Structure 1
Amino acid sequence: MGPKVSCNFSVLFCIISAIFLIYGISRIYQNHQVRRERNFPEQNVKKLTVENTSPSVKQQEIVTELSTYLGPGADGEQIYLPANREHYEYIRNKSLLHEVNNFNSDLVGLKRILPDQRPEKCKDIQYPSDLPEVSIVITFREESVPSLLRTVYSVLETSPDRLIKEVILVDDGSKDEFLKAAVEIHATNVDKIKLLRNEQALGLMRARQRGIEETGSDYFIVLDGHIEVTPGWLEPVLYRLVQEPNALLTSHIMVLNKETFEISRGDHDIAFMFFDQITLNELWVKYTNDYRAYRNGSVSPIPYGIVPGMMTAMRKSFFLQLGGFDPGMEIWGVEHMELSVKTWLCGGVVEMLPCSKIGHIYRAAPWQSFHPHQRYVSKNMMRFAHVWMDGYLQKLALRVQHKSNLSHWPDPGDLEDRHKIRRENNCKPYQYYVDKIQNMTHNYVPKSPRVTGVVRNEQTKACLDHATIGGNFVLITYSCTGDSNQFFVLTEDNNIRVERSWLLVIPGSTKLKLLRDITDWSGPEFLWTFENNSTIKHTVTGKCLTENVRQNVTLEDCVNSRSQMWKWPLTA
């Protein structure tokens, strides 16, 4: 992608100035331009010299002898950092803006091409030469400049030019003038890049909606601003959209390390993204062994519970037919759940493509800082549950969002337009979605639980809760908040569950334990009863849950004391 022919002298002067502004490490950038066809044998590994890291600090005070291995740079060379710990910490602390190591990011460069991550079976697939073009929408807010530009150039340099109609950048109210100037310079001087600015932040989902509505092709792909794609990522997506026009797709998303920017090599057929049917919180669930055996190493599309929001692909007209993102939802969160579930229910499929590989930096979403005291995620969850869930599951999910009446819950707002979309698209009952997912995984879906809700001790008035201590999940008591981590379920099979964890007594002992994300909770060590006298008794040992010391829950002989009595569910 070269500069536009219309560049004049003033623009060129701005470009030259911007190079010094954007890349304080100009010599490194020159040394690290991508050489696509070049391999770097180990004997050619060399140490680097860093110049002009900061105008306010002398170079020799920052970089001494470079000997700390970091990882591969843009062209395959190994990067080293100062052996002097004080200098290293200085660089690291100065470089952690936006939760990524910008110093190391500069060393990596903007136009590197990641290694081909595809399974060998994918490399043998021949795709049609007449695949349609696609619009790429990249939303960002207060993003790291190198990470964002590497996202853009990763798409442009790795994808066939004929398949990319445009790259639409949506700046959702960034205030960083350095970021805004850098992005504008690249958008002005590189073909196919279009920049949209929201002067006032609209929130992630509305920013994405604006970008999608501006696209000029029949298909779109939405990306976060801290992603890098790998060779061969695009063709499987477009081919599948042609095969399944009502598909919602995502790539197999691997992890880019936010310190070293190395990409992981995770398996694509172990687990997939879903959400808890009680709390509506995201979780990863494992495929059953039977389902993995059925696939037998296939690289064909895999059905998914929900797509992760950082990469979604869809036919534009079908997206709009389903109402796009819910305009009544606010800022960030749940929009990918809503889009995925209604796609399944309204005649589409949701899939991950093992032959399409991209890397993503996992960092806190910049939209999370909006209105920290506003319960917008709960509002979004309530809108989703009201419109797309049905029956008992809907009632249970709404009850959790209502915080068991312990605190005020937000008004979900007008839902008529969303209900109309469901009616007009002749969408299936919610149980259809649950059945689709249950066919692939062992995951608890409540049918007729015996007791649900917050559990309060009669003696201390504290509530059952759970915490992570020493890497283990531990049952505790805590001040009653009514949050989902205090919402306990005594299942129809007499198991106790809280969020993704199951309570058991270690066989041969009286030691309590919470196991998380397990696939089998059928053993006798998991069996409990909630007695008429308000005690919670372990079936095998016959002992009772006891608040022994403040915030310490143990299993003791049942003596009918107030420390062993629990109000469950707590409703006031």
Structure 2
Amino acid sequence: MFSMFGHRRRRKWASKLLFAGLFFGIVILWLSTRSSSSVEQKVIIREKYVQAPPAPTQSDVPLRYEQSALTDQDYEAMIAQDEARIIPGLGDEGAACELEDPEELALAEKLMAKEAFNIVLSNKISLTRTVPDARHPMCKNQRFSNNLPSASVVIIFTNEAWSTLMRTVHSVLNHSPPHLLKEIVLVDDFSDREELHGKLEYYLRTRLPADKVKLVRLPERSGLIRARLAGARAASADVLIFLDSHCEVVVQWLEPLLQRIKESRTSVLIPIIDVISEKNFEYSHVHSENFEVGGFTWSGHFTWIHVPEEEKIRRGSAIGATRSPTMAGGLFAIDRNYFWEVGSYDEQMDVWGGENLEMSFRVWMCGGSLEVMPCSRVGHIFRPFHPYTFPGGKDTHGINTARVVEVWMDDYKRLFYMHRNDLQTVDIGDISARRKFREKMKCKSFKWFLDNVYPSKYIPDEDVIAYGRVRNEASTPNFCFDNLNHDSDSNYNLGIYGCHNTLETNQLYSLSKKGELRREFNCVQAPATKSLSVEKATLVPCHDLLGNQEWEWNKRGQLKHKASGKCIDIENVHSEEDVKVAPCSDSKFQIFQFEHVLIPPTS
């Protein structure tokens, strides 16, 4: 009996040991497989679509974000908490909304300084809210081809707020025909917020169609330009559509873009961009016939301009493709193969800035076109500042733009350096590859661009009588006309300030052959009254009608207002004060000299 019990006991223990060994073996095998596939997945996600910098040699890529120990149950609870904050109907149809709770208002104001928009309010608005259909009535009767090309929507983000990012994704999914929207490619430019890691991956896995949303993570902060290139490499549809991570699209936004690219594969297309308020999330839109197209400033910035009358005639219809000299750059569609053929992006540009003008000039000068599609509308939050930092604190916009002017603007780069003299000696990196590309593509000159694409662009040192600093030598120190740092988007009075040693943008004025005393977009205007009263001279948008904006510079050096017969006068005017428009006299304080005179006065 004892030996039988001992034998059974040994066999029982042997069975337990065998079972335990098998169990731990399976666990170890599972963990090793899981670890291997996890590392493999991370490398694919982080390295497959990135060319610069080169792939690391280690088996894994160190992140500033450290993997959390949160579980799926934790993420589900977080999402449930998000959903509990939402107030049904709030902000529907793009309506403005407000916070009422004092604590929430205080928190919103605090976070506004960090996020550049009202994140507390955004979190209360549905991710699938409705927005108004602001399209032209004619758009609703449009017919599209049955075999339109497919689209990949590429959305770049870095530490974007959860609600605005997800609202963008849901908006695209809800307003895009599934057979045309092949995929949304989300490119994470090295975010370190927990919710944009495990929570995001869980949300995509459990809430969104797996075949429609692709997530690409970059191994280090790469900036908008390189992140978009990574997204373009990951995309597989016929057409690339780039959107910012805080947008909401309007019904039937996609079809007009795809239809036009089907008709003209070298057309780069821009939707009408409506404004979503960063404060109350109101969806504002201009009248469907009053939208604007893109221009630029000689200081290297994008600006909006009115559609020229000749372009309204050329396009043939209020909803026809409308040529645009430049684009803002955040939202556009392009044939995927043509994107690479026409030079994609300048990969040596850092982070953000200048890439939109570079692409605009390059597309036009190398045989393509930029067009606004009036029947495609997308809302966008225009944040008042960038909520992220720029590596090394560099002026990336300025340096990138200097690369643009050196490659594409030929002799007209002189006008950029008039505004940014500080960049003439800055290292902008190697631009030889971009110059070779321009030569290989036999791209046209920048003068061709100005003559044929943007003929209304004012050139301050061409077709003028005189330009530069406008100096009164009787004043001590010498005073020059100065915009006194006023924003060119608003009206302001002409002022004076001590003349700078070199020409600075705020003291650059021209007298056109038409008699406009002007800056790039604004002209000096005065009341047409012929009384003895003293008036102000105001800078307002040039209207090309002369009248109260017409001036004459005579041999004495007086700037005489043709409509009133009065002269600009600075007697008893101090630095940073406004000039006067007073009856003409022999006063030496009415005598002004231009820095550069092309046509000397004859009377």
TM-score normalised by the chain length of structure 1: 0.79
- Answer whether contact 1:19 1:26 (CA < 8 A) is retained: no
Note if contact 1:389-1:430 (Cα within 8 Å) is conserved in structure 2: yes
Note the alpha carbon deviations across 1:459-488, whole angstroms, 9 max, x for none.
235653224499631222346485533322
Question: Equivalent residue for 1:50?
Answer: none
Equivalent residue number for residue 262 of structure 1: 282
- Equivalent in the alignment of 1:63: none
Greater shift, 409-418 or 468-477, is seen at: 468-477
Aligned: 1:347 with 2:367? yes
Match of 1:200 in 2: 220
Aligned residue for 1:341, secondary structure, equals helix
Correspondence for 2:327 among 307, 311, 327: 307
Matches within 5 A, 1:81-480: 81-82=99-100, 86-87=102-103, 89-94=105-110, 96=112, 97-189=114-206, 190=208, 191=210, 192-276=212-296, 278-289=298-309, 291-292=311-312, 297-364=317-384, 366=386, 369-370=389-390, 374-391=394-411, 393-402=412-421, 409-438=425-454, 443-446=457-460, 447-455=462-470, 458=473, 459-460=476-477, 463-466=480-483, 467-468=485-486, 472-478=491-497, 480=500
Q: Deviations over 1:320-375 (max 9, x none)?
A: 12221122333222211111121112111211111111111111453774158633
Q: Which protein has the larger Cα radius of gyration, Structure 1 or Structure 2?
A: 2
C-alpha displacement at 1:241, in angstroms?
1.0
Q: 1:552 aligns with which of 577, 580, 588?
A: 577
Q: Contact 2:91 / 2:129 at 8 angstroms: preserved in 1? A: no
Change (3 A) 1:413 1:450: farther
Deviation digits for residues 136-169 of structure 1 (CA, Å, limit 9, x no counterpart): 1111223221011111111112211222222112
Q: 1:500 aligns with which of 476, 499, 521?
A: 521
1:488 paired with 2:488, answer: no
1:527 and 2:551 are equivalent in the alignment: yes
User: In structure 1, how many angstroms separate the alpha carbons of the residues matched to 2:380 and 2:586?
Assistant: 54
Q: Which residue of 2 aligns with 1:57?
A: none
**CA separation in 1, counterparts of 2:240 and 2:522?**
38
Structure 1 residue 520 displacement after superposition = 1.5
Distance 1:169 1:462, change over 3 A: farther
Give me the whole-angstrom Cα distance separating, in 2, the residues matched to 1:167 and 1:182.
Answer: 18
1:381 and 1:401 in contact (8 A); partners too: no
The number of residue pairs the alignment matches comes to: 512
User: Which secondary structure state, in structure 2, belongs to the residue aligned with residue 100 of structure 1?
Assistant: coil
- CA positional deviation for 1:401: 2.9
Bigger shift: 87-96 or 336-345? Answer: 87-96
Q: Per the alignment, do residues 413 and 79 of structure 1 end up closer, same or farther by CA in structure 2, a change over 3 Å counting?
A: closer
Q: Which residue of 1 aligns with 2:4?
A: none
**CA RMSD, 1 decimal:** 3.5
Matched to 1:505, the amino acid is: A
Deviations 1:524-563 (A, max 9, x none): 6431428676x65656636344271121132355656479
In 1, Cα distance between the equivalents of 2:295 and 2:435? 22
**Contact map agreement 1:401 1:409 (CA 8 A) in 2:** no
Measured in 2, the distance between the counterparts of 1:139 and 1:530 equals 56
SS at match of 2:115: helix
Aligned equivalents of 1:372, 1:483: Cα separation in 2: 26
TM-fit CA distance, 1:299: 1.3
Q: What is residue 542 of structure 2 aligned with on the other side? A: 518
Instruction: Tell me: CA distance 1:486–1:375, structure 2 relative to 1, closer, same or farther (3 Å).
Output: farther
What are the ranges of 5 or more consecutive residues in structure 2 without an aligned counterpart?
1-67, 598-603
- Structure-2 change in CA distance of 1:528 and 1:346 (3 Å): same
More strand by share: 1
TM-score (norm 2): 0.75
